[in-house]
Amino acid sequence: MTNATSQFSDMRTIYLETFGCQMNELDSELVQDQLTALGYTFQGERATADVVLFNTCSVREQAENKVLSRIGELGVEKIEGREVVIGMLGCLPEREGKKLLGTYPQLDFICGPSELDHLPTMLHNAVAGERLSAVERSALQGNRSRRSAALTAADDNLELLDLARAFNPDHRRSSGKSAYVRITRGCNKFCTYCVVPNTRGAEVHRPPCAIVEECRVLVETGAVEITLLGQTVNHYRYTHDIALNSEGREVPQIGPGLTAFKKPLDSTQRTTTFANLLKRIHDEVPNLLRLRFVTSYPIDFGNDILEVMRDCPRICNYLHVPAQSGSNRILKLMNRGYTVEEYLEFIERARTIIPEVEIAGDIIVGFPTETEEDFEATCDLIRKVQFKNNFVFHYSPRPGTVAIDRFEDDVPRENKRRWLNSILELGAEISGDVHKLYEGKTVEVFVERLSPKETKKAGIELMWESGKVQLSGRTQGDLICVFDVDSKEEANMLMGCVVPVKITSSAPLLLQGTLQTSLLVK
């Protein structure tokens, strides 16, 4: 047992449940690495763990309710005598802050995304039984979401947390084939319905050399696909000083903000745009087979980015670029900052430069004052764009947002439900057309898993032949594709590889094809 481990009591098994977006999934991964290195072990049973952690999401009420009901259940167990430490991480404590500790006395500590670097200490204190009163605890735990605004990412301990993952030997042993890499924290947009700028703070961009290095190490340790994360990922921009030698040449950096010489002779500034960053990762990490990014914002998306996507074969032809609504009136109330026409102009530009690009998005139905006419306008937009899919949400009023103060949540529940179902139906129809276009083509598929039996529900006749094993993966455009191989051994061999598959049939949710063995690179 190491010193780091022995200072903790014997409460060392942790159950961690994650809600919300990819940012939270990544944070949970970082938390797991950080705490594993300190001697904690993670397990899949909430009922028997010494410590229960929830990494929460606050974007819709439903997401919060799920966690709060779990906390309620654990509260009862605690009253009945179970010894368990309960910690709440993520966006809900960042939004609600100190109040939570008073309302839920069973909670031992809270830790927002901006405090994750302090998590080991908070957990240690809780495990060591330093139970503070709610008032004392709340005095220690601030709502520091906007602290990062004053710091450059390189100065911030959160940067070290991101970086630590790639260099953590525990992570190396368990790392998967698909990895997230954060490039930007926070958001500066203030869409009126959205809680994220409150929970994740102002936009802070990570230094490009740290991002490229992280990608390089992740690929060296087995990652095949990397997805860059940011709330408005195309806004990435990093300006930094570069040191020049006596001949005016750049002095190489040895780390974020550090050059090989103490005193460079001269310096100048360099700006890395999102397009530059994509190109750098593509070129400097040649063994990375797939590079993706989410989420894109439909304005401020220059042709430079689209051209890099077109010219770099390992950058996926895929954009997740939420429209949210197809009504200009509603877009204005949402403060999205673009019109339907501007959104469509962007899509046309993207399709002209990258004809094979697939577009996915998000739609909110039932925003305050939304009418049948607004809803029809959204359906029109969906038809025009031919999205591969949309994530569709009921509007949910969120405390701390502009919309909750300014507008009444006046759309009847029944309309929200009907509109959501209609959009899903329309979406499935369009998705069917999108998938059909692939029939007869050969696509590259990144093999992810054995095909789940659920694929049968997608309405496709899966021709199970005896002895065959079905694999499932994704195309560059993020379409699910299944194909058969002869044996479990072959399936294992192909897992995590990118392989050519000729599409023979399609359905709204997936493609089916045959492996083009003759095209496989040995």
Cα(132)–Cα(142) distance, rounded to whole angstroms?
A: 15
Question: Given candidates 14, 16, 24, 85, which one binds ligand F3S under the rule CB under 6 A?
Answer: 24
Cα(378)–Cα(275) distance, rounded to whole angstroms?
A: 30
Which of ligand SAH, ligand SF4, ligand F3S, none has residue 24 at its interface (CB below 5 to 8 Å by kind)?
A: ligand F3S
Question: Given candidates 46, 189, 280, 329, which one binds ligand SF4 under the rule CB under 6 A?
Answer: 189
**Residue with token string 């430490």:** 85
Q: Is 395 in the site for ligand SAH (CB under 6 A)?
A: yes
Cα(494)–Cα(482) distance, rounded to whole angstroms?
A: 13
Cα(424)–Cα(117) distance, rounded to whole angstroms?
A: 40
Q: What is the 3-state secondary structure (H, E, C) of 445-463?
A: EEEEEECCHHHHHHCCCCC
Considering only residues 50-69, where is the footprint of ligand F3S by CB under 6 A? 57-59
Considering only residues 155-214, where is the footprint of ligand F3S by CB under 6 A? 195-196, 199-200
Question: Given candidates 30, 194, 224, 350, which one binds ligand SF4 under the rule CB under 6 A?
Answer: 194
Least CB distance to ligand SF4 at residue 186 (A):
9
Cα(513)–Cα(308) distance, rounded to whole angstroms?
A: 29
Which helix (H) or strand (E) is 96 found in, with range? helix 91-96
Q: Is 141 in the site for ligand SAH (CB under 6 A)?
A: no
Question: Given candidates 28, 143, 178, 231, which one binds ligand SAH under the rule CB under 6 A?
Answer: 231
Question: Given candidates 11, 14, 16, 21, which one binds ligand F3S under the rule CB under 6 A?
Answer: 21
Least CB distance to ligand SF4 at residue 193 (A):
7
What is the number of H-type helices and E-type strands within the chain? 19, 22
Cα distances from 255 to residues 68, 204, 246, 250, in angstroms, run: 42, 18, 21, 14
* Helix extents (H) in 128-260: 134-140, 157-167, 169-174, 196-200, 208-220
User: Please, which residue, 149 or 254, has the CB nearer to ligand SAH?
Assistant: 149
Question: Given candidates 84, 89, 158, 191, which one binds ligand SF4 under the rule CB under 6 A?
Answer: 191
DSSP string covering 373-394, please?
HHHHHHHHHHHHHT-SEEEEEE
Structure token pair of residue 2: 């190491």
Q: Is 322 in the site for ligand SAH (CB under 6 A)?
A: yes
Residue showing the smallest CB distance to ligand F3S in the complex: 20
225-229: strand order across its sheet:
178-182, 225-229, 290-294
Question: Given candidates 232, 276, 296, 389, which one binds ligand SF4 under the rule CB under 6 A?
Answer: 232
Least CB distance to ligand SAH at residue 435 (A):
23
Considering only residues 61-100, where is the footprint of ligand SAH by CB under 6 A? none
Q: Is 228 in the site for ligand SF4 (CB under 6 A)?
A: no
**Which residues in 353-495 belong to E strands, given as ranges?**
358-365, 389-394, 442-450, 469-474, 480-485
Question: Given candidates 187, 323, 411, 515, which one binds ligand SF4 under the rule CB under 6 A?
Answer: 187
Cα(125)–Cα(138) distance, rounded to whole angstroms?
A: 14
Considering only residues 191-210, where is the footprint of ligand SAH by CB under 6 A? 193-194, 196
| Per-residue mark of binding to ligand SF4, 251-290 (x: CB under 6 A) | ----------------------------------------
Q: Provide the binding-site residues for ligand SF4, judged by CB under 6 A.
A: 187, 189-191, 194, 196-197, 231-232, 297
* Residue ranges that bind ligand SAH, judged by CB under 6 A: 59-60, 193-194, 196, 231-232, 295, 322, 324, 362, 364, 393, 395-396, 398
